[in-house]
Amino acid sequence: MSENIRVRYAPSPTGFLHIGNARTALFNYLFAKHNDGAFIIRIEDTDQSRHVDEGEKSQLENLKWLGIDWDESVDVPGDVGPYRQSERRHIYDPIVEQLLKEDKAYKCYMTEEELEAEREEQIANGMPPRYSGKHANLTDQEREQFEAEGRTPSIRLRVPQNKTYKFNDMVKGEVSFESNDFGDWVIVKKDGMPTYNFAVAIDDHHMKITHVLRGDDHISNTPKQLMVYDVLGYEPPIFGHMTLIVNENKKKLSKRDGSILQFIEQYRDLGYLPEALFNFITLLGWTPGGEEEIFSKDELIEKFEASRLSKSPAFFDKQKLEWINNQYMKTKDTDTVFEMSMPFLMEAGLVEPSDKEWAYKLVELYQPQMSYAKEIVGLSELFFKENLTMDDEAKAVLNGETVPTVLNELKTKVEQLEEFEATAIKKEIKAIQKETGIKGKNLFMPIRVAVSGQTHGPELPNTIELLGKDKVIKRIDEALSKI
């Protein structure tokens, strides 16, 4: 693309960073970087009633953690600021005055109760609820009367009649709306703050935004924004509305859906890797082509073509997320994985700071299996149990004919081992094979079940080393007592 691409992510500071919003930010970031453009973050905080004190900070911190950076925002000012809508009244107010002066907007003094009664009457009559235009043509005398009553007006845009608003969506193709489906809508609330659709259109124009990539749930906002562009003589940006993210029941992700963790902070708290989450979220509604699913940030920037945005809903696959994170965990340096995992072991009361060397080996042992850092607590429970519990499969292993021979030989060799470490333990297990002729599953499975209570697990010699001589001997005795 030859033009100077400028895109934006514009969150409301009304809560923490949601997966859907993170995807919007990520797609805009990738689109900008792929096209050597600029990525801007604008805070849309005109709705003070829903403002959350930590909302803006959470958004920016979690975007940084994911690996997304930006060219302009509240902390990196450019020449089109301010970057909070609440600080842009000096831009909106003159435009509103201009629209009032040109009679393209007007003051509406109807109360919430009057508007609600109007809506209820329309619904009762089988009509779609929309503003009737009751105050569209007030006389000066009527306006003075309402103000004398102490009524505070909102300001509404005059919506033209019989006009079709069309745009070519990057994902959906041509989309059109009829102006007659809309009543005159509020552009400035009674508190003097501009409404979302009014402010967004002005901001996108003044910030020279060329493309607007956002979720499918915003498509109903587009005609109102096009009306603002039209009435002010602005050139609209190119729109692209990404399909929704759905759960396994094909339902839109709802913040009330407890089956899926939906906030980036929750994944941070569990010890997911940001680069894995970046990779996973990019594949929610975009395809790189081919079978490969693991990509670095630079590879995704290089591959990100908007033409590959999906037209079908994006399925949030929890198993796929865990698989992708596991791919990253396996190749991450163990020092980092340990630093992420140690706090969880300590929080669970399993280790102390003085156990750092032993805990490092434990994390190293389970690193190939871990999908996220907190998982170390559940994966390694066999090391902290006083008494092992065995399932039917494990119990069946101990019923094998040669099991007593294997376990008695193992106990003798463990007791005699002076240097209790994995390499020496491996040699002794091989010696048991040589001396008894017992090999394969008949050798390794009884040993694993006796020391861990499990039929599957990490490297057996390393597991035995970390359990320690005393615990291993105790567990072998317990296993032999059950045979």
Question: Could you give the residue numbers annotated as active site?
Answer: 255
- Token pair, residue 467, equals 């359990």
Q: How many angstroms from the chain centroid is the CA of residue 227?
A: 32
Strands 105-108 and 173-178: unpaired
Q: How many angstroms from the chain centroid is the CA of residue 12?
A: 16
Distance (Å, whole) CA 81 – CA 89: 12
Beta strands in 396-476 (DSSP E): none
Which DSSP string corresponds to 181-234? Answer: GS---EEE-TTSPBPHHHHHHHHHHHTT--EEEEEGGGGGGHHHHHHHHHHHTP
8 A C-beta contact, residue 280 and residue 314: no
φ, ψ dihedrals at 459, nearest 5° = -45, 125
- Tallying the residues shown for the chain, one arrives at 483
The sign one gets for the Cα dihedral 2, 30, 24, 12 is: negative
Q: What is the H or E stretch that residue 341 is in?
A: helix 334-347
Distance (Å, whole) CA 201 – CA 135: 25
Q: How many angstroms separate the Cα of 379 from the Cα of each of 72, 368, 382, 397, 457?
A: 43, 11, 8, 21, 9
The sign one gets for the Cα dihedral 131, 133, 135, 140 is: positive
8 A C-beta contact, residue 358 and residue 466: yes
CA-angle at 214, arms to 219 and 49, nearest 5°: 80
8 A C-beta contact, residue 324 and residue 267: no
The sign one gets for the Cα dihedral 330, 335, 337, 338 is: positive
Distance (Å, whole) CA 170 – CA 309: 8
Distance (Å, whole) CA 26 – CA 4: 19
